[in-house]
Structure 1
Amino acid sequence: MDSEIKEEIPVHEEFILCCGIETQVLKCGPWTDLINAQIANRPKLLIFIIPGNPGFSAFYVPFAKALYSSTKRRFPVWVISHAGHALAPKDKKILTTSDDPNAQEIKDIYGLRGQVEHKLAFLRTHVPKEMKLVVIGHSIGCYFSLQVLKHAPELPVIRSFLLFPTIERMSESPNGKLATPLLCWLRYAFYVPGYLLLKPWPEKIKSLVIRMLLRRMNLQSEFSFLNILEPFCLINAAYLGSQEMMEVVKRDNETIKEHLSKEMADMVADWLKDDLSKI
């Protein structure tokens, strides 16, 4: 199973301009253009993964491959980076598409609300309107998933899964109490030193450092992690984190209740069916 996931499942990397911002999208499966694909060849559903912060898509490739394999390769699995968290390599072509004609200018695209609008803009311009969606959020991506459900009821989202959700009182959590002063007030002190330290590094040195870090974390990836040491991306991740600490306070119970259907309870019961039969 592991060798099948690693070797045989195709993952296509694209950099597109979404709302004028370079955005990395990793597409698991043979479908790379759902809009222009013939209707007969289109899958009926797209599994869409919204990452945590920092929004580095490459971290989610093993998970995306496992999902694709578990669904018998019937549905594409796409992972999108956050706006400002990925820069295209110099030799990588950046794709452009026509924006949603009804879209309004996003004033703070690197912030909390802007990231939600960024995901909505992508879904509206790169996914057919009739295609069903399964939205999976991780960490702050769960907050974005709930906002997608709240602000875009026209999207045919049939399921939304929240993995390790950070959707309330973030600054009050143990990690939040430490992160809040660092991200909200002290982050400015690291901007200039971080830029002066990391920007001059040659890509070979950055690649070597990242390989050492990944080896220590027992991780492998077929895609570049250079954005981890890119000052522009780190600054945007810190800025987003500061807004998370200040604005993600109250859980959105109304949106959760509205979309917590009986079907979800049936699905959980189905998961437990085998275990319950043994009791």
Structure 2
Amino acid sequence: MDSELKEEIPVHEEFILCGGAETQVLKCGPWTDLFHDQSVKRPKLLIFIIPGNPGFSAFYVPFAKALYSLTNRRFPVWTISHAGHALAPKDKKILTTSEDSNAQEIKDIYGLNGQIEHKLAFLRTHVPKDMKLVLIGHSIGSYFTLQMLKRVPELPVIRAFLLFPTIERMSESPNGRIATPLLCWFRYVLYVTGYLLLKPCPETIKSLLIRRGLQVMNLENEFSPLNILEPFCLANAAYLGGQEMMEVVKRDDETIKEHLCKLTFYYGTIDPWCPKEYYEDIKKDFPEGDIRLCEKNIPHAFITHFNQEMADMIADSLKDDLSKM
């Protein structure tokens, strides 16, 4: 019954130009244009998901659907891709707004700073200023979320969930020690290898490989993320990853302190990107904060098998806030 319910949930796919970069936005619910909707039925709140790296928004569709159902289908749940991590199919129109057309292109948009500005640019041009926001950042998306709050503290964010948050000491984590030399020192070898292997590969073969991979990872393929094997997108993901290793070092305690009342941190017990000691450190420094340790052995990449569990946790945490909307 539950799976049938999720299948009925409308998900609208758009490709837009945001900050000069093609961007995929997946919109869960019947609302596709909040900016120009002046009707009384327009929702008062948007749940906005910022993915990890690679920032393939299609991976988060089951999670978004589960969350949309659990919040009684009252609020839109949108997921945005990272800049440069999604390319529109040849037959897909790329939408633009007058605001974005007149805006300056974001410098180094595929890098760490550019990705933060990319998300802020989207909110400026596609979401009304008075619309309340619930931000959900996963992995490096948690870092982006904190930086968005820091740069634009007037954002009407009522809650922000930082899931398996890579917000500090990334290169020192177990996975970071492996990824740092690959992403920072051998990046160009990865680029060349990717282009040589994947560029000549026929689309039918890529689609077959992706479908098989999605089945193994237990991911729905309602919006087939062909970009997984697109050299341009993989190169941008590696470029962003390299900057993460070099720049995500010190936890931003000042921003955390300023926004602590609206933040929920969710750490894993088996997470090689942000090990348990990172949870213990932040819990010690902010004992009054809503800082949780997973008790269900959910992995860092929760979108493979644990969408429902994570959606349950967030929906339960939001009950009081949403009851006032």
Global fold match (TM > 0.5): yes
- Return 5+ residue gaps in structure 1 as ranges: 273-279
Match of 1:194?
Answer: 194
- Return 5+ residue gaps in structure 2 as ranges: 265-287, 293-312, 318-325
- In 2 relative to 1, CA 23–101 (structure 1 residues): closer, same or farther, beyond 3 Å? closer
Report the TM-score, using the length of structure 2 for normalisation.
0.79
Q: How does 1:1-279 map to 2 (within 5 A)?
A: 1-99=1-99, 104-261=104-261
Cα deviation code 1:168-199 (max 9, x no counterpart): 00000010000000000101112122102101
Cα deviation code 1:35-82 (max 9, x no counterpart): 111241210000000000000001100110011001000000000000
CA distance in 1, matches of 2:141, 2:198: 27
- The answer to whether the 8 Å contact 1:19/1:99 transfers is no
Residue identity over aligned pairs, in percent, reads 80
Report the TM-score, using the length of structure 1 for normalisation.
0.92
- In 2 relative to 1, CA 5–247 (structure 1 residues): closer, same or farther, beyond 3 Å? farther
Displacement, 1:98?
1.9
- The answer to whether the 8 Å contact 2:135/2:160 transfers is yes
Q: Alpha carbon RMSD of aligned pairs, Å?
A: 2.2
Displacement, 1:27?
0.1
Letter aligned with residue 85 of structure 2:
H
Matched position secondary structure for 1:260: helix
Letter aligned with residue 2 of structure 2:
D
CA distance in 2, matches of 1:88, 1:39: 31
Cα deviation code 1:75-106 (max 9, x no counterpart): 00000000000000111111011236995542
- The answer to whether the 8 Å contact 2:159/2:262 transfers is no
CA distance in 2, matches of 1:170, 1:254: 19
CA distance in 1, matches of 2:88, 2:55: 14
- In 2 relative to 1, CA 221–98 (structure 1 residues): closer, same or farther, beyond 3 Å? same
CA distance in 1, matches of 2:169, 2:152: 24
CA distance in 2, matches of 1:191, 1:99: 34
CA distance in 2, matches of 1:32, 1:14: 9
Letter aligned with residue 211 of structure 1:
R
Letter aligned with residue 121 of structure 1:
A
CA distance in 2, matches of 1:268, 1:72: 26
- The answer to whether the 8 Å contact 1:138/1:163 transfers is yes
